[in-house]
Structure 1
Amino acid sequence: MPSNDEEFMNPLQLEYFRQKLLRWRSELLEESTETLASMQQENLAQPDLTDRASMETDRAIELRTRDRERKLISKIDEALDRIANGVYGYCEETDEPISLKRLEARPIATLSLEAQERHERDERTRRDD
């Protein structure tokens, strides 16, 4: 587990986050495979319209969830690329280190907490206009 007492993004910290991202990616891919297998076994030809509608709603929700996870896998891959390129853990806007606490909570983070808050405020301002 990385600590603030160490040099920021030393090889051990990079490997820690790389392994964390790889495990997360593997879990998401496994869930996706299970969903696909489950959907292939389902029979939507239910005689009762209510049962069929319920199954179709459940399927739509599951597909939306998997789509979000597909996008998340893409972000995980981008984070792994940043590790490989030596820029992981640094804010895209300020080049300042992203706190270890933030990276632990959200290992795909590309902005420091301050930059993220500023970005969200700007979005709200534009949305209100």
Structure 2
Amino acid sequence: MVDARNEAAKAFGFEPYQAAGDEEYMNQDQEAHFREILLAWKRSLMEEVDRTVHHMQDEATNFPDPNDRATQESEFSLELRTRDRERKLIKKIDEALGRLDDHDYGYCEACGVEIGIRRLEARPTATLCIDCKTLDEIREKQRG
């Protein structure tokens, strides 16, 4: 059985980080591990952006049939929405890389505790520990 927490790291060919028992949290080795994951993720997203641009340029056709045009516009719209979400994710990746440069990566922005290696491998752009994230989601539900 594959551990679901390690899927993000394995998706880019990285093995989960194995910390030594007395290893300090977010040392240079851990920072390098997460920098590699973030850069690989960003590179993958940027390749998707390039593919989309080329696909839209190659497939852009002025169909005489209005139904064909509508289908093409719908497909392009869906692709652009997906790329917009990825653009926002690239921004989060860049922010995470900035936190790595400042040695603030891996610590909760709300309470300052360690986010944890496994949580960061599952979601490398995480900025909140699991407790603060849970409280944040509860507040969001209550607001509507």
Q: TM-score range by the shorter chain?
A: over 0.9
- 1:112 aligns with 129
Q: Using the alignment, how far apart are the partners of 2:17 and 2:86 within structure 1? A: 26
Mapping of residues 69-108 of structure 1, within 5 Å: 69-108=86-125
How far 1:66 sits from its partner (Å)? Answer: 0.4
Identity %: 47
- 1:3 aligns with 18
Coordinate RMSD, CA, aligned: 1.1
Q: Deviations over 1:76-124 (max 9, x none)?
A: 0000000000000000011000021110010000000110000010111
5+ residue gaps, structure 1, are: none
- 2:72 aligns with 55
Question: TM-score, normalization: structure 1?
Answer: 0.94
How far 1:2 sits from its partner (Å)? Answer: 2.0
Aligned match of 1:20 in 23, 37, 40?
Answer: 37
Higher relative contact order, chain-length normalized (CA < 8 Å, sep 6+): 2
Question: TM-score, normalization: structure 2?
Answer: 0.84
- 2:6 aligns with none
Q: Using the alignment, how far apart are the partners of 2:60 and 2:109 within structure 1? A: 47
How far 1:35 sits from its partner (Å)? Answer: 0.5
How far 1:26 sits from its partner (Å)? Answer: 0.5
How far 1:44 sits from its partner (Å)? Answer: 3.1
Number of equivalenced pairs: 127
Q: Is the aligned partner of 1:68 residue 2:69?
A: no
5+ residue gaps, structure 2, are: 1-15
| AA matched with 1:89 | G
Moved more, 65-74 or 2-11: 2-11
Q: Using the alignment, how far apart are the partners of 1:43 and 1:77 within structure 2? A: 32
